[in-house]
């Protein structure tokens, strides 16, 4: 299932849509069908029966357009709190050359330091409540943190929050920047999903083990039952009626076993739900480092941030998928910042292409 599809499905479900269960066929086609509450349909400017298909081929929906539309779904009632430092300190001067040397891993280009100076950056901490359901339910909260000024993902949000929390106070002048939030929310959600999935992997392992154990138990119970019936059939060799009755019993027992195993698979199947929670917006002092990023004949000036709280250079997010881009790759034409997947070879013609420049490869294939 394409990334955007999974993301869209989670987002729609978190807003009360009934999403059709994925089948091999819809997964193959990259399709998603859902029934939306009227208010949600209104927000998305779609009908209440939503049918989406992304990827190559005629009639596919436009990914970029749907990313924008889905981005509006940041819950209206989400609590957005603006905070500021009691005293906006200054970020200490740094050896920018050494910071870049340690923290900036460009795989296919070079950089030149221009200058570094004091700056204030807008950070957003997005919280997501998640529920991982299997035979047991586990609940938790995941925080994603974005630096909106630099366009970077904070690697360990809880560390940053922990470092500044005691110095924060509510900002009385704070006005909710709706547009920026709508733009950042999908990026935060996209970032949170794989992390939550990673947490779910441990639970999935335990469930798989329990499922195997229980299935074996059920299997052995029915094996015994069937072998007893077999013996009775053998004993009734002379009595056709009695043997036929035992055969019917064997068939019913088989059906029963199938149903029990199906129940078991259902009980242990993994369901992950992600719901958006509160957002904390806070301004923090950083060192801004201006660099020229150079790829072949193209170049661009970037502004990277070093935050004193974790004491680390933040990596810009991938401009193709908005996930982490470390190591960082650059595209030939517009020097986009990319992760490895977003500059990968096309699945059809084998030529690498920039997923930020083009939604599809020149050969027409998306993927």
Residues that bind Zn ion (CB under 5 A): 318, 320-321, 331, 334, 336, 339, 342, 346, 348-349, 354, 356-357, 361, 363, 365
Query: Which residues, other chains included, contact 102 with Cβ-Cβ below 8 Å and sequence gap of 6+?
Result: 313
- Cβ 162 to Zn ion shortest distance, Å: 28
Query: What CA–CA distance (Å, rounded) separates 48 from 258?
Result: 37
Contacts within 8 Å (CB) and 24+ apart, 157-161: 157/125, 159/309, 159/310, 160/123, 160/307, 160/309, 160/310, 161/125, 161/280
Query: What CA–CA distance (Å, rounded) separates 144 from 123?
Result: 10
Residues 301, 338: contact at Cβ < 8 Å? Answer: no
C-beta closer to Zn ion: residue 194 or 311: 194
Instruction: State the CB neighbour count (10 A cutoff) for residue 181.
Output: 19
- Cβ 107 to Zn ion shortest distance, Å: 13
Residues 88, 249: contact at Cβ < 8 Å? Answer: no
- Cβ 324 to Zn ion shortest distance, Å: 8
C-beta closer to Zn ion: residue 19 or 357: 357
Query: What CA–CA distance (Å, rounded) separates 110 from 92?
Result: 26
C-beta closer to Zn ion: residue 140 or 194: 194
C-beta closer to Zn ion: residue 58 or 240: 58
Query: What CA–CA distance (Å, rounded) separates 143 from 46?
Result: 30
- Cβ 19 to Zn ion shortest distance, Å: 25
- Cβ 201 to Zn ion shortest distance, Å: 21
C-beta closer to Zn ion: residue 147 or 207: 147
C-beta closer to Zn ion: residue 271 or 334: 334
- Cβ 276 to Zn ion shortest distance, Å: 22
119: DSSP letter: E
Query: What CA–CA distance (Å, rounded) separates 244 from 134?
Result: 41
Query: What CA–CA distance (Å, rounded) separates 49 from 33?
Result: 7
- Cβ 13 to Zn ion shortest distance, Å: 24
Residues 101, 103, 104, 106, Cα dihedral to 10°? 90
- Cβ 70 to Zn ion shortest distance, Å: 18
C-beta closer to Zn ion: residue 84 or 336: 336
C-beta closer to Zn ion: residue 313 or 339: 339
For residue 8, which of 56, 62, 59, 67 has the smallest C-alpha distance? Answer: 67
């Amino acid at each position: 299932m394409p990334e955007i599809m999974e993301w869209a499905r989670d987002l729609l479900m978190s807003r009360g849509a009934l999403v059709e269960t994925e089948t091999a066929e819809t997964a193959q086609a990259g399709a998603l069908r859902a029934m939306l509450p009227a208010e949600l349909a209104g927000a998305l400017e779609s009908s209440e029966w939503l049918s989406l298909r992304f990827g190559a081929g005629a009639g596919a929906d436009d990914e970029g357009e749907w990313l924008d539309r889905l981005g509006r779904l940041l819950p209206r009632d989400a609590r957005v709190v603006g905070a500021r430092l009691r005293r906006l300190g200054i970020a200490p001067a740094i050896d920018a050359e050494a910071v870049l040397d340690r923290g900036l891993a460009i795989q296919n280009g070079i950089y030149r330091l221009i200058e570094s100076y004091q700056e204030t950056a807008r950070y957003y901490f997005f919280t997501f409540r998640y529920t991982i359901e299997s035979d047991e339910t586990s609940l938790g909260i995941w925080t994603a943190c974005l630096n909106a000024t630099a366009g970077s993902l904070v690697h360990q949000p809880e560390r940053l929050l922990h470092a500044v929390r005691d110095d924060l106070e509510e900002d009385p002048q704070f006005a909710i920047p709706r547009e920026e939030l709508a733009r950042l929310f999908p990026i935060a959600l996209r970032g949170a999903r794989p992390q939550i999935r990673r947490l779910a992997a441990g639970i999935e392992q335990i469930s798989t083990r329990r499922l195997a154990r229980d299935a074996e138990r059920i299997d052995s119970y029915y094996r015994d039952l069937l072998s007893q019936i077999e013996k009775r059939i053998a004993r009734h060799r002379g009595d056709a009626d009695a043997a036929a009755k035992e055969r019917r019993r064997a068939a019913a027992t088989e059906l029963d076993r199938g149903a029990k195993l199906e129940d078991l698979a259902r009980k242990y199947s993994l369901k992950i739900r992600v719901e958006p929670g509160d957002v904390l917006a806070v301004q923090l002092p950083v060192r801004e480092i201006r660099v020229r990023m150079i790829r072949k004949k193209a170049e661009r000036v970037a502004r990277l941030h070093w935050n004193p709280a974790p004491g680390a250079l933040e990596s810009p997010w991938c401009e193709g998928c908005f996930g982490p881009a470390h190591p960082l790759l650059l595209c030939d034409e517009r020097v986009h910042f990319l992760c490895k997947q977003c500059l990968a070879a096309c699945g059809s013609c084998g030529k690498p292409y920039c997923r930020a420049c083009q939604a599809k490869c020149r050969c027409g294939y998306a993927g």
